[in-house]
């Protein structure tokens, strides 16, 4: 699995480099006829859904599910503030039959910056190479049940159930991705997210196995989105 | 442009394939009370008592349940040259008693403790940790008991919680 991660990382980097060099070549050609028209401040917004989480949820009946959408604004064709919201949950049973359950909404706010200069020629294809940050939050209730404790020497056993535990988690994400206008007004794209929790759980407490919007509760995590959006 | 499209598709497939997580619990789910045997000897040159580990020639340890009945399962059976033992405290009672036979002398040690649930992870579940309140012992072989560490948790480098002293 590790090798796949590194492969993605390397190919992302290579792609970035590729895009930049292509851009640089074009720039030299375009330079003489550069007449820099004023870019308006507000250029509409896209409403988008994440197809990756939907497909994953539909195809793989795994331990967790997630659905999310977003509204992304286009300011000066460079700054792309975004509001993301979704609903996620998990129902996981461990090898020892310990069950974890949660269902909750989550939200993220953030900003993407388009690293490509907007095209000035008449044939407008809006390709975006975006890098940005997100601040995510989820306030959720969870249960961890059927925790068995047995005493092999003295005998006796006990089943512990922790129901309706409450938690609020805040995390950050660093996002890199692309968005391409495939048909007029319709955008498709992907992004990769590296996530980190601001505050980890203290030892000994019944901490949640899964955090809606974040994923499995580890100090750092990653995920990817596949975006389909409509530009208004 | 085509490259971007292919790469986009590649990323799509990657994002669909989710990865499995390590689900094995590799942590010890029982904590042990570590007991060391010691003796104080007088150093004639400095005229001070020094603490020396005591190796017991023959040792048998058995639990004694709340009704005062010896447990069938023997923890240490006639073990030779031991200076340290690990004992399981009762997870569901506030008192654990052990009958320890040192060579030909037998002592009963009573440890009263509180038990707390500690969550490890979904894979490992919960374990019981203990806090020692008091320790009582009969004095046939043992002269005194010292509680070094009250907190009996998942043990870091088998540090002693109790020290049993035999003063000659």
Q: Residue B20: pLDDT band by 50, 70, 90 thresholds? A: very low
Provide the percentage of residues in chain B whose pLDDT is more than 90.
26
pLDDT in tens, A67-107: 999 999 988 888 999 999 999 999 988 888 899 999 999 99
Residue of B nearest to A57 (CA): B16
pTM of the predicted model, to two decimals?
0.74
Residue of A nearest to B119 (CA): A204
Check: CB of residue B131 under 8 Å from CB of residue B114: yes
- Residue A137 has what pLDDT? 94
The predicted model gives A137-152 an average pLDDT of: 92
Chain B partners within 8 Å of A59 (Cβ): 16
Q: Is the ipTM of this complex over 0.95?
A: no
Interchain contact, B91 vs A178, CB within 8 Å: no
Q: Residue A120: pLDDT band by 50, 70, 90 thresholds? A: low
Give the bridge partners for B40, in sequence order: B51
Q: Residue A125: pLDDT band by 50, 70, 90 thresholds? A: low
Residue A44 to chain B, least CA–CA distance (Å): 24
Q: What is the mean pLDDT of chain B?
A: 83
Interchain contact, B91 vs A154, CB within 8 Å: yes
- Of the two residues B127 and A5, the one the predictor is more confident about is B127
- Residue A111 has what pLDDT? 93
Chain A partners within 8 Å of B63 (Cβ): 153-154
The predicted model gives B3-12 an average pLDDT of: 62
C-alpha–C-alpha distance, residues A138 and A86, integer Å: 10
- Residue B168 has what pLDDT? 63
pLDDT in tens, A26-57: 445 554 555 556 778 888 888 999 988 877 77
Q: What is the mean pLDDT of chain A?
A: 81
Q: What is the DSSP string of A7-76?
A: HHHHHHHHHHHHHHHHHHHHHHHHGGG---PPPPSEEEEEEEEEHHHHHHHHH---SEEEEEEEEEEEET
Taking only Cα atoms into account, the Rg of chain B, rounded to an integer number of angstroms, comes to: 25
C-alpha–C-alpha distance, residues A161 and B123, integer Å: 15
- Residue B18 has what pLDDT? 46
pLDDT in tens, B43-90: 788 888 888 888 888 889 999 888 888 888 888 888 888 888 999 999
- Of the two residues A84 and B166, the one the predictor is more confident about is A84
C-alpha–C-alpha distance, residues A197 and A186, integer Å: 33
Helix (H, G, I), strand (E, B) or coil at A228: strand
- Of the two residues A73 and B166, the one the predictor is more confident about is A73
- Residue B30 has what pLDDT? 81
Q: Is the pLDDT of residue A24 over 50?
A: no
- How many residues does this entry show for chain A? 232
Q: Out of B92, B117, B121, whose CB is closest to A151?
A: B92
């Amino acid at each position: 699995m590790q090798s796949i991660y590194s492969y993605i990382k390397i190919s992302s980097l290579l792609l970035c480099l590729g895009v930049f060099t292509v851009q640089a070549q074009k720039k030299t050609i375009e330079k003489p006829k550069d007449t820099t028209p004023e870019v308006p401040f507000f250029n509409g917004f896209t409403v988008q859904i994440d197809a990756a989480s939907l497909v994953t949820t539909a195809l793989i009946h795994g331990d967790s599910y997630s659905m999310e959408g977003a509204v992304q604004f286009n300011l000066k064709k460079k700054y792309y503030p975004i509001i993301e919201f979704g609903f996620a949950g998990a129902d996981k049973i461990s090898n020892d039959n310990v069950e974890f359950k949660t269902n909750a909404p989550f939200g993220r706010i953030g900003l993407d910056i388009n690293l490509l200069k907007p095209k000035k020629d008449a044939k407008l294809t809006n390709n975006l190479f975006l890098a940005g940050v997100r601040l995510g939050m989820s306030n959720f209730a969870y249960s961890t049940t059927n925790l068995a404790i047995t005493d092999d020497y003295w005998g006796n056993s006990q089943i512990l159930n922790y129901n309706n535990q409450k938690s609020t988690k805040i995390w950050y994400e660093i996002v890199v991705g692309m968005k391409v206008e495939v048909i007029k007004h319709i955008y498709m794209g992907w992004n990769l997210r590296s996530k980190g929790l601001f505050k980890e759980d203290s030892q000994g407490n019944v901490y949640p196995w899964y955090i809606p919007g974040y994923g499995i509760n580890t100090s750092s995590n990653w995920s990817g989105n596949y975006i389909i959006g409509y530009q208004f | 442009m085509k490259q971007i499209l292919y790469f986009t598709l590649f990323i799509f497939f990657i994002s669909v394939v989710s990865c499995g997580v390590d689900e094995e619990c590799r942590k010890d789910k029982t904590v042990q009370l570590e007991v060391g045997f010691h003796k104080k000897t007088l150093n004639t040159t400095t005229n001070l008592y020094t603490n020396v580990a005591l190796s017991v020639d023959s040792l048998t340890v058995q639990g004694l349940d709340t009704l005062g009945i010896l447990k069938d399962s023997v923890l240490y059976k006639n073990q030779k040259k031991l200076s340290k033992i690990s004992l399981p405290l009762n997870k569901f009672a506030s008192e654990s008693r052990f009958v320890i036979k040192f060579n030909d002398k037998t002592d009963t040690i009573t440890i009263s403790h509180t038990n707390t649930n500690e969550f490890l992870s979904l894979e490992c579940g919960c374990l019981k940790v203990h806090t020692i309140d008091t320790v009582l012992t009969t004095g046939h072989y043992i002269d005194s008991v010292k509680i070094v560490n009250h907190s009996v948790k998942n043990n870091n480098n088998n540090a002693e919680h109790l020290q049993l002293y035999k003063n000659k």
